[in-house]
A and B are shown apart, each in its own frame.
Chain A
């Protein structure tokens, strides 16, 4: 009977430890099978058939056209306001006209400032498309797809990054992850999750490593 009570107590105590679930995830395979990842061409350093940048440039172009239409509509209103101002019979009507003029001018300024912002973004994207960093938007989408696969918010996903093939000797253990792999205690992996940045050269032909922090959520 005493043994039974001790056993129950041990099981009750170990319940909190067992609560943490661990899942495995094969990132290598995911990237290899993903339509974007699979289309990476190491020679040209870009994703073949990627339409992210051209699509965004086209979308910005569309927005610029819409702003130009709004500016043209605004110009009609401004002309009408000027006409009314010139027909003002007294100083009150004149003051009203100038007040309206200021409101319209503010709208024009805002629209123009937005237009210049979009033009600058469009120009940046056009320049980006001819550089290595042009693949970053595609990588961003790929990373979002990877994140979407982690559907259990409480689980710790192992093999979040491609596993290194290098065998690390015990004496050279330097990170909590490596320590965890050597000695799988929950506190090591928790420390790793809290502090680590996931850094990997997912695409070896990239000049710079792709870096992101798991806890960091990019602004839309």
Chain B
């Protein structure tokens, strides 16, 4: 109950910030100078999406050598439903049957228990999950452009208990969604919506170049000089540890 109240407070704060932003002025892509306005860290029982887990095993196994993936975490409604979105991704590993399992033992113990199965599953466990919410403002656009970032981090331990080719890996998983908008996060005001990682890179779901060009023409945004090209221009500054 207390957690729910906390989340509700966060939502109200965000809404308030966005309303204030509208009263301030407008923003864009172009050459941004992101300043952090707001940052919040929330513990999660399970990851909201398995994108980082998918990324952790990318190209680690020969194509179609796996038959099933067991995703171990203290799952909640979000995580259980999120695996339904996996078939939309291009990776072959995403098209395997994914099954959610509660954390009843370590991934090593779970893997040992399934070592004698005819088709050994790949076991991926996610713990130490956190969700970070951050709002950045672009000072190059007179505080008119905003970037809302939802970042999920977790410790991912994967084990494949094959007797011939045993495999284990621990990694830090990171998934983020970034929404860049002008004044308000409304359709028509969105400059870009991007997700990371899809094939280990940032994938833009929305990239509204026309709108950006319009804002640049009206000088609401700072034009990026041609010689400044940084592939990470669209990303955001590091969030605090």
A83 and B168 CA atoms in complex are apart in Å by 9
Is there a chain A Cβ closer than 8 Å to B115's Cβ? yes
Chain B residues within 8 Å of A129, by CB: none
Q: Is the CB of A98 within 8 A of B111?
A: no
Interface residues of A in 71-93 (CB under 8 A from B): 78-79, 81-83, 85-86, 88, 91
Given contacts A91-B106, A94-B106, A94-B108, contact A85 B159 (CB under 8 A): yes
A97 to B112, CA, bound (A): 15
Give the one of B108, B111, B112 with max A CB within 10 A. Answer: B108
List residues 89-113 of chain B with CB under 8 A from any CB of chain A. Answer: 106, 108, 111-112
Task: Please encode chain B, from 165 to 177, with 1 for each CB lying within 8 Å of some chain A CB and 0 for all others.
Answer: 1111111000000
Verify B170–A86 contact, CB threshold 8 A.
no
Decide: A86 and B169 in contact? CB cutoff 8 A: no
Determine which of A79, A83, A88, A98 lies in contact with B170 in the assembled complex, contact meaning CB atoms within 8 Å. Answer: A98
Shortest beta-carbon distance, B210 to chain A, in Å? 34
**Closest CB of chain A to B66's CB: distance in Å?**
15
CB-based contact B112/A86 at 8 Å: yes
Q: How far is the CB of B196 from chain A (nearest CB, A)?
A: 18
CB of B55 to closest CB in A, whole Å: 14
User: Are A101 and B108 closer than 8 Å at their CB atoms?
Assistant: no
Q: Are B157 and A79 in contact (CB under 8 A)?
A: no
- Please pick, from B106, B166, B169, the residue contacting A83 in the complex, using a CB distance under 8 A: B166
Q: How distant is the Cα of A86 from the Cα of B160 in the complex, in angstroms?
A: 9
A28 to B: closest C-beta gap in Å: 36
Given contacts A91-B106, A105-B170, A105-B171, contact A86 B111 (CB under 8 A): yes
User: Does A181 reach chain B (CB closer than 8 Å)?
Assistant: no
Query: Is there contact, CB below 8 Å, between A82 and B170?
Result: no
Q: Tell me if A102 counts as interface (CB < 8 A to partner B).
A: yes
Among B111, B165, B167, B168, chain A packs the most CB atoms within 10 A around the CB of: B168
- Tell yes or no: B161 within 8 A of A by CB: yes
Q: Are B111 and A101 in contact (CB-based, < 8 A)?
A: no
A86 to B108, Cβ gap below 8 A? Answer: yes
CB distance from A87 to the nearest CB of B (A): 9
Interface, chain B (partner A; CB < 8 A): 106, 108, 111-112, 115, 157, 159-161, 165-171
Complex A-B, nearest 10 residue pairs according to Cβ-Cβ distance, in ascending order: A82-B168, A82-B166, A83-B166, A85-B168, A82-B167, A98-B170, A101-B170, A94-B108, A102-B170, A86-B161
27 contacts between A and B (CB under 8 A): A78-B168, A79-B165, A79-B166, A79-B167, A82-B159, A82-B166, A82-B167, A83-B166, A85-B159, A85-B168, A86-B108, A86-B111, A86-B112, A86-B159, A86-B166, A86-B168, A88-B108, A94-B106, A97-B108, A97-B168, A98-B157, A98-B168, A98-B170, A101-B168, A101-B169, A101-B170, A105-B170
